Amino acid sequence: MNKPCPACGEVFLCNVENIQNCGCNTVQLDIATQERIAQKYLDCLCPNCLKKYQEIMSKLEDKIQQSKTHVFKAVFPNTTNHYDTLFGGTALQMMDEVAFICATRFCRKKVVTVSSDRVDFKHPIPAGTLIELIAEVIEVGRTSLKVKVDIFVEEMYQENRDKAITGIFTFVAVNELKRPVSILPSSMHV
């Protein structure tokens, strides 16, 4: 069946069954639609847009890997509570900071934290341990992105390592007037 590509509008022969039910004509595909949405309509793209989409996704994966951020810290008594474990607020501050670094490295634009989604404290982090914070971009929108941060705890003089805290932070890229701007350059849009 001949149909227009939802990304560029070029009419092409589409081999997808039940094309009238796929709804792709209502979607303007670009990198901001996220992989899960684009995957749904992948079969509906014309050959040129499909090739461009695959190239963009490859570049995006490279950008995500290059922006992955690791920070190590020692947990000293001045950061602990009366139970001799890391303050939850201190952990959140560290997580927000490493998420900010990761988000900035990803888009190389000014970003601000707009929310922290669910943060799970799986077990306490005692004083006298080492922690590693690992931040990675997990979702990219038009003006926002989500960064997952995990905190792993290690005993200083033993080989064990456990995940202690996980959280998701959302950032928006802004200009000098604090208005949202595109996360990615226009060259990374289908």
For 115-126, the pLDDT digits (tens) are: 998 899 999 999
Contact 31, 60 (CB under 8 A): yes
Residue owning tokens 């950061």: 79
Question: What structural domains and CATH numbers belong to the chain?
Answer: 2-59 (no CATH), 68-188 (3.10.129.10)
Question: What is the length of the chain?
Answer: 190
Q: Backbone phi, then psi, for 81, in 5-degree steps? A: -95, -170
Give percent above pLDDT 90 in the chain. 62
* Interior angle at CA 156, CA 155 and CA 162, nearest 5: 25
For range 155-166, the mean pLDDT:
95
Residue linked to tokens 């989604």:
117
Q: What is the per-residue pLDDT for 187?
A: 62
CA distance 65 to 25: 32
Identify the band that residue 26 occupies on the pLDDT scale cut at 50, 70 and 90. Answer: very low
Looking from the CA of 75 toward its CB, the CA atoms found within 13 Å total: 26
Q: Phi/psi zone of residue 56: left (φ > 0), alpha (ψ -120 to 50 degrees), beta?
A: alpha
Average pLDDT, the chain: 85
pLDDT greater at residue 58 or residue 180: 180
HEC letters along the chain:
CEEECCCCCCEEECCCCCHHHCCHHHCCCCHHHHHHHHHHHHHHCCHHHHHHHHHHHHHHHHHHHHHCEEEEEECCHHHECCCCEECHHHHHHHHHHHHHHHHHHHHCCCEEEEEEEEEEECCCCECCEEEEEEEEEEEECCCEEEEEEEEEEEECCCCCEEEEEEEEEEEEEECCCCCECCCCCHHHCC
Q: Is the pLDDT of residue 170 over 70?
A: yes
Residue 188, pLDDT > 60, answer: yes
Percentage of residues of the chain with pLDDT beyond 70: 82
